[in-house]
Chains A and B, each alone.
Chain A
Amino acid sequence: MGNYLGNIWETITTMLTGMRVTLQHLLSIRRNNVTLQYPEERWPRPERNIGFDHSNYNVIRSRLHVDIDDCIGCLKCERACPVDCIKIETVKVPNRGEDIRSIGHTGITANGTKKAMVVSRFDIDMTECCYCNLCTYPCPEECIYMTGGPNSEKHEIDYEFSEYDRNDLIFRFAKKVSDEEIESATSVSSGEES
């Protein structure tokens, strides 16, 4: 009997101890509020522009972006990707480092490398991307990067990119070009020169 009443007593006291903790939270609900009304207000993202040299690091995980004018088609990012979400196709150009204006191809990258290829396809399927950031490190021209953060001067942050159709999440950065188009474009331009 004493055990029975003791159990009831213990239940009541421990429950009241728990209630005291919740009551403290109830009273300080304004001060310690942690819930945000999401679409109207957001958590500030941690400041990433501090601390270290950005040329070595790419401390953000968001949408992948490619500055296609700087891409030399070396396929390093495609090989680094663990889930094969990057697809690249290239066409060789006859004269290295020469602009082909009719298809909008610039011959020299921002770093001064002469391009030997026209990138005719550069697709990133963001539905497959696992945001591991492995593709951004090997890039010799630093043209593939995640938007925002330390790269915000190149491209503003693109965190939320939901779409109604799954195919809209395949980002096509390059314009499709065939061998013949390049041949005719280069022959026209060389004809003009001569």
Chain B
Amino acid sequence: MGIVKGDQMVLNIGPQHPSTHGVLRLKVVTDGEIVSDIEPIIGYLHRCFEKHCENSTYEQVIPFTDRCDYIASMNNNFGYVVAMEKLMEIKVPDRVEYIRVIMAELNRIASHLLALGVYGLDVGAFTPFLYMFRDRERILDIFELTCGARLLYNYMWVGGLSHDLPVGFVETVYGFLDYFEPKLKEYNEILTYNKIFIERTADVGVLPPEVAISYGVSGPNLRGSGVKWDLRKDEPYSVYERFDFDIPIGEGTVGTTGDCWDRFYVRMLEITESAKILRQALKDLPQDGDVHQAIPKKIRPPKGSIYQRTESPRGDLAYYIISDGSPQPYRLKMRSPAFTALSVLNEISRGWMLSDVIAILGSLDIVLGEIDR
């Protein structure tokens, strides 16, 4: 943060501000109502995740990964177990892979629903938030049916899953999809194409693709800028190469490519794609296969290291694990997509008004639990 000149004023937003999505503090230098500089101050939610992992066994890390991105815990589990299985060269049964994909996509829908609903709340639309939470609740019910927990699952284990699917699970998910897919039209009517919402978000906070790439922004934020990059397609892990789905990108339908509305709309389209993957995965789900079969008795990976990235709802979620042959990781680093998304905030919100900063921050869909770890 540079020198504050005579006409300028430093304004604090947060750390307990409702639109900062957690405990984030923004030090904003304003000139009148125009923002000239933003310094995000993070660390209020720091829980020593990486240091904790060095003192826990590999199984005990999984509940901690749940608590990083607490909105998409299944995807966090997924990234970790994929990395571990690559390090230990475990081949997991097909059924396990399919169940994992189903869970990850369900959680992606839930996470995007929260992101969209809360974004509406940030810019002043209260009703869509309630509708989206009502539907997210159904997904959480499905998770509760499967593993007993609604938010922090500890469901995916290295080499398998903690539980098999309950009887009637497939029908429940089909029922949910049949109920849910028509609702997307409703969301579009009430929020996406609302003129007031468009005025608040179109052309605001444009993130050009070059800037996005140079900052390392990933996930829907990058795709909103028109870059076709999705790890599920470009570097397929698990069984994602077997599914047929598109990668939606922002096209600047109502404004400039890479504005807040594009980032919002990409998430809306991704929900449709996730539903598409879900239907294919449910159709092909293998009926036989023991989910505990490939779980090793003792998790003791050979000496070496692994860097594995996966597509979480927020972008490239990567784990870097160094093993020294003991049952505890020597070092575990998590590359958080929300952290890089927050770093671009200063760049794209300079010159906008204070109320637009809230809209830009909301459109980046950050989760402070993952930024601070």
Interface residues of A (CB under 8 A from B): 7, 10-11, 14-15, 17-18, 20-22, 25, 34, 45-46, 48, 50-52, 56-57, 59-61, 80-82, 130-134, 146, 149
| Chain B residues with CB under 8 A of A131 | 149, 152
| Chain B residues with CB under 8 A of A56 | 292
| Chain B residues with CB under 8 A of A22 | 127, 190
Contact at B167–A34, with CB atoms within 8 Å?
Answer: no
| A14-B193, A59-B148, A60-B148 given; A132·B134 CB < 8 A | no
Contact at B190–A18, with CB atoms within 8 Å?
Answer: yes
| A18-B190, A60-B148 given; A132·B154 CB < 8 A | yes
Closest to A150 in B: B148
Contact at B193–A61, with CB atoms within 8 Å?
Answer: no
Contact at B162–A17, with CB atoms within 8 Å?
Answer: no
Please pick, from A15, A20, A57, the residue contacting B163 in the complex, using a CB distance under 8 A: A57
Q: Does B145 contact A (CB under 8 A)?
A: yes
Contact at A52–B166, with CB atoms within 8 Å?
Answer: yes
Apart from A52-B163, A56-B292, A82-B64: 14 A-B pairs, beta carbons within 8 A: A11-B195, A14-B193, A18-B127, A18-B189, A46-B145, A50-B166, A51-B165, A52-B164, A81-B60, A130-B67, A132-B66, A133-B148, A133-B162, A134-B59
Closest to B186 in A: A21
| Chain A residues with CB under 8 A of B146 | 59
A15 to B190, CA, bound (A): 8
Encode B135-172 as 1/0 by CB contact (under 8 A) with A. Answer: 00100010011111100101000000011111110000
Contact at B189–A130, with CB atoms within 8 Å?
Answer: no
Contact at B168–A15, with CB atoms within 8 Å?
Answer: no
B23 CB to closest chain A CB, in angstroms?
A: 20
A20 to B162, CA, bound (A): 45
Those of B64-89 within 8 Å (CB) of chain A: 64, 66-67
- Residue total for B at the interface (Cβ-Cβ under 8 A): 38
Closest to A32 in B: B134
A142 to B62, CA, bound (A): 22
A151 CB to closest chain B CB, in angstroms?
A: 11
Encode B111-146 as 1/0 by CB contact (under 8 A) with A. Answer: 000000000000000010001001001000100111
A52 to B163, CA, bound (A): 9
A184 CB to closest chain B CB, in angstroms?
A: 40
| Chain B residues with CB under 8 A of A133 | 148, 154, 162
